[in-house]
Amino acid sequence: MHIFIAKSSGFCFGVKRAINLATECSKESNEAIYTLGPIIHNPQVVKRLEDSSHIYAKKTVDEIKAGTVIIRSHGVRLEELNAAREKGLNIVDATCPFVKKAQELVTLLAREGYAVIIAGEKDHPEVQGLLSYGIGAVKIRVASHPDELKDMPRKKKIGIVAQTTLHAEKLQDIVCFCLGKAAEIKVFNTICNATSIRQEESALLAKKVDRMIVAGGRNSANTRRLFEICRAIQPMTCNIEEAKELDSDWFEGAESVGITSGASTPDWIIDSVVKRIKEIESLNKKQGGRADAV
Ligand code: F3S
């Protein structure tokens, strides 16, 4: 079975940076270090950090008495950041610079009097954070599809910012819809390159393989999106968090398999997926399966 791995798989720049910052912090101090919510959307990495580096995820600033708090890669709400400042916590800001840029643009649009629309998923922590940066905005809305804006009255001017991991087509749909809603529209394409490159590469890979594996946390929006994109092309696509979830029956008749991953998936998970595929193949061969070389 031929195994192809998407070039861009593994940690993206922002996640790598956040993990490096967290690791450095833990080396510098033996005290417990906290994150507000999981530092990245990968339960296996978060568990490893807890086990090996005394870094613990807390839901709110209230749960942290003192010490260091690391701001996760996709940012937090401004109120939480301010609460951490007021409490005198030592803040290590691991917000990805691309997310930070989107936060600043929301503030800018609100200050300039635009009706702000965040193209993204309402419940995603990054979007919740972005919303909080619309300081003084008359109206700020979130939409992942134009249907969610149907009740929006005509505006004088609309400003649009996107969740960094949004699929470009979704942003296009929202922008097109808004064209009929205001004479002036300002759009900041804050979709991160790392996301779009990963999506394009994964789509190309899904076209040429018999099975497609998307490795990544089920709580990761960009993993979910990769899964949707790949499945639309190759119905035999699965989303796994760990190699042990792979089932040998699923590979029956397959001559090639593609692996891609969400931006929060470490290389060691991808390596373990490759190892598991090879084990499954050799097991199938022993049981009288195909005899192709891996
Ligand atoms: Fe940053 Fe893009 Fe990764 S926004 S966290 S580099 S997916």
Q: pLDDT tier at 292 (50, 70, 90 boundaries)?
A: very low
CA of 191 to the centre of ligand 1 (A): 9
**If you average pLDDT over every residue of the chain, what do you get?**
92
Neighbours of 237 (CB within 10 A): 22
pLDDT in tens, 92-146: 999 999 999 999 999 999 999 999 999 999 999 999 999 999 987 778 999 999 9
75 ligand 1 Cβ < 6 A = no
- Concatenated DSSP letters of 151-206: TPPPEEEEEEEE-TT--HHHHHHHHHHHHTTEEEEEEE----HHHHHHHHHHHHHH
Give residues with Cβ within 8 angstroms of 35, minimum separation 6: 22, 55, 56, 57, 58, 69, 70, 71, 72
pLDDT in tens, 218-244: 888 889 989 999 999 999 999 999 999
Considering Cα of 93, then 34, then 262, then 231, what sign does the dihedral take? negative
Q: Is the pLDDT of residue 55 over 80?
A: yes
103 ligand 1 Cβ < 6 A = no
Q: How far apart are the C-alpha atoms of 237 and 250, rounded to whole Å? A: 10
Q: Are 157 and 114 in contact (CB under 8 A)?
A: yes
CA of 290 to the centre of ligand 1 (A): 40
- Cβ burial 254-288 (10 Å sphere, 16+ → b, else e): beebbbbbbbbbbeebbebbbebbeebbeebeeee
pLDDT in tens, 129-141: 999 999 877 789 9
* pLDDT confidence of residue 288: 66
Q: Are 167 and 227 in contact (CB under 8 A)?
A: no
Q: Is the pLDDT of residue 291 over 60?
A: no
Active site residues: 126
pLDDT in tens, 61-80: 999 999 999 999 999 999 99
pLDDT in tens, 144-178: 999 999 999 999 999 999 999 888 899 999 999 99
In this structure, which residue's CA is closest to atom 5 in ligand 1?
A: 14
Specify the length of the chain in residues.
Answer: 294
Let me know if 65 is exposed, middle or buried by CB neighbors in 10 A (0-12, 13-18, 19+).
exposed
Report DSSP state, residue 243. G
Angle of the 13-28 helix axis to the 97-111 helix axis, nearest 10: 110
Nearest atom of ligand 1 to the alpha carbon of 97 = 1
Question: What HEC string does 62-83 produce?
Answer: HHCCCCEEEECCCCCCHHHHHH
* pLDDT confidence of residue 40: 87
Residue 117 DSSP SS3: strand
- Give the residue among 292, 294, 265, 272 at the shortest CA–CA distance from 202: 265
- Residue among 9, 11, 12, 202 to mutate when testing ligand 1 (max atoms within 8 A of CB): 12
Report DSSP state, residue 57. E
Q: pLDDT tier at 294 (50, 70, 90 boundaries)?
A: very low
In this structure, which residue's CA is closest to atom 6 in ligand 1?
A: 14
Neighbours of 201 (CB within 10 A): 17
Per cent of the chain over pLDDT 90 is 77
Q: What is the pTM of this model?
A: 0.85
- Give the residue among 100, 94, 82, 78 at the shortest CA–CA distance from 35: 94
Q: Which of 27-31, 54-58, 218-222, 267-271 has the highest mean pLDDT?
A: 267-271
237 ligand 1 Cβ < 6 A = no
* pLDDT confidence of residue 137: 73
